[in-house]
Structure 1
């Protein structure tokens, strides 16, 4: 399996995962042109995509969905609540019949040779989900936009070969930054976003010898920067109750405006 971030950040998200035979996008929160440029770097054409998995209906996750999926008639997979949210998005445009496929959290489904397990996340959206993908004996997951995590979250992220995990903000930067009070409370709340520290603590709970690739994603443009997220997560792992050290990790930070390296598992 392969995992690659085409774009990841508070201003737009689009992640690729796939095998030699099946190609999926998780979210399309950037323009059609940028999605196509990212796919070109992966040597994949839009018409070769087998599906788009949508985590939730916020614009930084569906901004390009209407234009892109219409052009290539790519099936869209999302929970009932997320589909309702997508349909009410003003930038969607008229969609062809039959593109929406309703899924349910904790119910596996298959696209091509990939088994997909959506699982619930805590975020201020209709019915948000993260995704775990498995093919043969390999597993990857994308988990962003979760204000908190529980043993349920950890269970769905165990025994992965690669993961893209949210490290949205530095708490101090957020507290002293320019956001209005209500927005600070939203971001830090249980239905907001994971801080760098919480991201590192969640990583401690899912680390094992087989987790070869870690990508930190969905960084806030205003309240974080890549080096800070990277070092904070490393420190949490080093200080955590686990046998690993931060410097042992194969970890990178996804960029908001360019494609990451292609991670093979």
Structure 2
């Protein structure tokens, strides 16, 4: 399995997962044209994408999905029934080709040849948010952003993975002292908001193992965080703390405009 976080941040999110049989998008929160460009930067033709998994309806995760489905009919798109219902009724992503819509509900695991996908519910102010663990050839990668907290139930699903993409959205002091309105700050800090650097690090501390070789720090706020603060928090908690991680673990920053390398998981 190979993975690149193509773009991650408040302006748009999408990632690529490759197995021997599939090329998959995790979220599609940028324009179809931008997603095509980002895929090209890691050497992948958008015409080879055959699956897409959607976490929730917010535009920074969903806005390009409708265009991609209409333009590339081979893409089978997956979300839960609550997310599809909201997107269909709201027309946020335009007309959705019904024949390309597929349902995977929280708690379900589905198998697609050499790929197993497990969906799990998260806590966010969207219609029915969920994220996924992708498994192939004995390797597991867990994706988790856009959640106000990480429950014990979620930790049980994502523990002992080979790789993680985890939300490091904000630095607590930057958010509290920053320019946002108090109501928006409360929303971000709430149980249906986002994870701080410290919260994300502590959640990872509970689930990583000596199998974990890749950790992508994702969905970083451009107003309430910096790359250095996110990286330093992760390193302090996970590397300098007592996490059971291998010495060659890679902790990688992600970017809203530039893809990461295509990493072998």
TM-score (norm. length: structure 2): 0.95
Give the Å deviation of 1:181: 0.8
Cα pair distance change 1:88/1:181, threshold 3 Å = farther
Bigger Cα displacement from structure 2, 144-153 vs 248-257: 248-257
Aligned to 2:164: 163
2:151 corresponds to 1:150:
yes
Is 1:8 matched with 2:1?
Answer: no
Task: Give the total of aligned pairs.
Answer: 264
Contact 2:150 2:203 in 1 (8 A): yes
**Structure 1 ranges of 4+ moved more than 4 A:** 238-241
Distance 1:193 1:6 in 2: 20
Counterpart Cα distance in 1 of 2:137 and 2:245: 27
**Aligned partners of 1:161 and 1:237: how far apart in 2?**
15
Q: In the TM superposition, what are the counterparts of 1:46-195 in structure 2 within 5 Å?
A: 46-73=46-73, 74-195=75-196
* Contact 1:50/1:111 (8 A) holds in 2: no
Structure 1 residue 95 displacement after superposition:
2.5
CA distance, structure 2, for counterparts of residue 53 and residue 243 of structure 1: 30
What is the distance in 1 between the residues matched to 2:54 and 2:12?
13
CA contact (8 A) 2:210 2:244 kept: no
Tell me: CA distance 1:89–1:42, structure 2 relative to 1, closer, same or farther (3 Å). farther
Q: CA RMSD in A?
A: 1.6
Aligned-pair CA distance for 1:243: 4.7
Give the CA deviation at 1:241: 4.5
Shift of 1:249: 3.8
